Amino acid sequence: MTRARDLSEIVNSTGLSVDTDTLVVDSANNRVGIGTDSSATTLHITKDGNQSAVLDAYEAQQVSHNTIAYTRWVQNASGIANIMGVDSAAGILGTSSNHALAIRTNNTERMRIDSGGTTTIKTDGSTQLVLNRADASIQNGNQIANLLVTGDDPSAGQSGAAISFIAGDAWATNSYPTNITFSNDLSGTLTERMRIDASGNVGIGTSSLTQKFEVIQGAGATTRAVIGGGAQAMLVINGDRDNSGDSGLEDASLVFASDGVYDGTGNPNFGYRIGHANASASNALIFTGIKSEVDYERMRVDSSGNLLVGKTSTSIDTAGHTIFASGEVFHTVAGTPLYVNRTGSDGPIQNFYKDGAPVGSIGVDNNDNFYIGATTSGHSGFYFGNTNVAPMAAGTKVDNTIDLGTSDNRFIDLYLSGGVVLDENPTIVGTTVVNRTITSKTLDDYEEGTWIPAIAGWTGTFVGTYTKTGNTVFYALSTGTLSGSGSDIIEITGLPFDPSASQASGTVMAQHVNTSTGTANLVGYTMGGSKLRIYETLDNAGWNALTESSLTSGSSQFIISGTYTTA
């Protein structure tokens, strides 16, 4: 049994000592050491010289002379020092050494603040960070929780940003409407920049949300981009928030900056814009290209739904292209307005329909033969072959089927350098007519004109006309009243074409002409040398050529018409 120690062994001039490693009271320095005789603070507890718990209270050497009191636990081997205590402004929990602070539950680390202040909350996927407002009644507008980013004391106005959770209406059982707002500080005051309301609507620049996503520029209510529209999603971009300063012009646009530079003035250096303009009530959707921050309009859809490319007016006199909402199309250019190209196979280049049914086409056959034709049965067309134009019916070349004109719809003039071949069986090779020989079925000439008849030694008012069809000439003449004298056979010269042979060729009207019997029939007789004689035929006798002695100067007159053939 250990004997009781004498009090003189415990109390000495420096204080109280129960063994040097059990309890030491340093009365000179007002310190107590347990497990150590070298107490460094007011209360110093240690075991084996490695683990320490320290309670220290002292007057800090600061201008305010605030008193700081804390308990410190030290792991001597690593130098880690943990403290818990108070100062004049707050409670203290942390480390006084350059080490991290770890917070545990169930002996498992849940959160760590490293020596630089970075905070990590460790989770297994189910861990939550709960911000709980201890309030039995949460009303509309109550702030439930707030995450604040601050450079110093928030009360000093040095808040940088905040995420706030605000009641969107009074809370009740199974109804906890909450708005989430995002704010930051641009000039010393936190300003809300974005919010998600209790219905899930997102707003930037506005706190009054009616659509799923709204972006508003400035203080007005009309300059916005909206995604919403109820049952049908839509994107709405509305410009000119206050409808002023631009004579009522309202602009809203999507800008694509192809150079990656957008200076905020409205245009990139290069890019594209899809915009709306309400200038002079045009209410157009405009597509532009942007170069050097200048818009160049390329296309627009006007308020009537017409598409205009390269122009701003629907007039056909204005260069560009217009596709009307009603279906019409204008193409206007100082040159060829339309090019249509079919590649590969032969066939239609353009098809035409009436009420959904095909009525005709323009196309190509045999690589380069162009055709225009109806596709309906019995309807005609033209096939432009090699040096010929052939008739078509229902999109196919045909023979002896198509008329040129009708009795009620005739052409005027037909100009030919060859003949009209009335051939029932022409020779065709491929698409080319090769039988061009002039035959008895060829009408190779047609001509109309005037000529001047004449009788040697006689004067009068001579008039002559003719029509030549093929090799047949129809002629007509009148002499007027003849004056003169002579006894030769009467020969009227100047026929427009030389007869192929001598032939009876017409009827003769005569007055004041003396015939052999006084009742003889007179007949025109054409001859070589482009001459015409007048013969009288006698009853039961031969014919006689009239002579100039049968004429009475100042009284005789002839009107003659007939036909003859040329060589």
pTM: 0.52
Closest CA to 239 of 263, 220, 262: 220
On whether both 388 and 289 belong to a single domain, the answer is: no
On whether both 481 and 527 belong to a single domain, the answer is: yes
- Final residue of a structural domain among 272, 297, 332: 332
> Do the domain assignments include residue 321?
yes
- Joined tokens for residue 366: 């045999």
Residue 528 sits in a domain of what CATH number?
2.60.40
- Final residue of a structural domain among 443, 476, 507: 443
On whether both 240 and 258 belong to a single domain, the answer is: yes
On whether both 216 and 298 belong to a single domain, the answer is: yes
Distance separating alpha carbons of residues 359 and 351, to the nearest angstrom? 8
On whether both 408 and 460 belong to a single domain, the answer is: no
The β-bridge relationship of strands 43-47 and 31-34 is parallel
Domain extent, residue 301, equals 143-332
On whether both 328 and 377 belong to a single domain, the answer is: no
Predicted confidence (pLDDT) at residue 66 exceeds the cutoff of 70: no
Closest CA to 290 of 320, 316, 254, 237: 254
Total tally of structural domains belonging to the chain: 4
On whether both 433 and 452 belong to a single domain, the answer is: no
pLDDT for 325-348, tens place per residue? 999 999 999 999 999 999 999 999
- Joined tokens for residue 495: 């026929």
The reported pLDDT for the residue numbered 58 is: 42
pLDDT for 158-167, tens place per residue? 678 899 999 9
Distance separating alpha carbons of residues 261 and 74, to the nearest angstrom? 58
The reported pLDDT for the residue numbered 267 is: 61
> Do the domain assignments include residue 137?
no
On whether both 185 and 59 belong to a single domain, the answer is: no
> Do the domain assignments include residue 392?
yes
> Do the domain assignments include residue 132?
no
Beta strand segments in 123-212, E: 143-150, 159-167, 178-185, 190-196, 202-204
pLDDT for 433-483, tens place per residue? 555 556 677 777 889 999 999 999 999 999 999 999 989 999 999 999 999
> Do the domain assignments include residue 342?
no
- Joined tokens for residue 156: 């000093």
The reported pLDDT for the residue numbered 72 is: 75
Range 30-41 average pLDDT:
77
Q: Using H for helix, E for strand and C for coil, what is the string for 268-301?
A: ECEEEEEEEECHHHCCEEEEEEEECCEEEEEEEE
pLDDT for 471-502, tens place per residue? 999 999 999 999 999 999 999 999 999 999 99
Which residues partner with 484 through β-bridges? 458
Higher pLDDT residue, 356 or 253? 356
On whether both 364 and 269 belong to a single domain, the answer is: no
> Do the domain assignments include residue 60?
yes
- Final residue of a structural domain among 443, 464, 479: 443
pLDDT for 395-409, tens place per residue? 999 988 888 898 899
On whether both 302 and 163 belong to a single domain, the answer is: yes
pLDDT band at residue 548 using 50, 70 and 90 as cut-offs: very high
- Joined tokens for residue 489: 């056979």
Count of helix runs (H) and strand runs (E) in the chain: 2, 49
- Joined tokens for residue 194: 């974005």
Arithmetic mean of pLDDT over the chain: 81
- Joined tokens for residue 158: 């040095």
On whether both 62 and 169 belong to a single domain, the answer is: no
pLDDT band at residue 247 using 50, 70 and 90 as cut-offs: very low
Burial of 420 (0-12, 13-18, 19+ CB in 10 A): middle
On whether both 390 and 490 belong to a single domain, the answer is: no
> Do the domain assignments include residue 26?
yes
How far from the centroid of its chain's Cα atoms is residue 554's Cα?
90
pLDDT for 114-130, tens place per residue? 888 888 887 777 767 77
H or E, element range at 37: none
> Do the domain assignments include residue 56?
yes
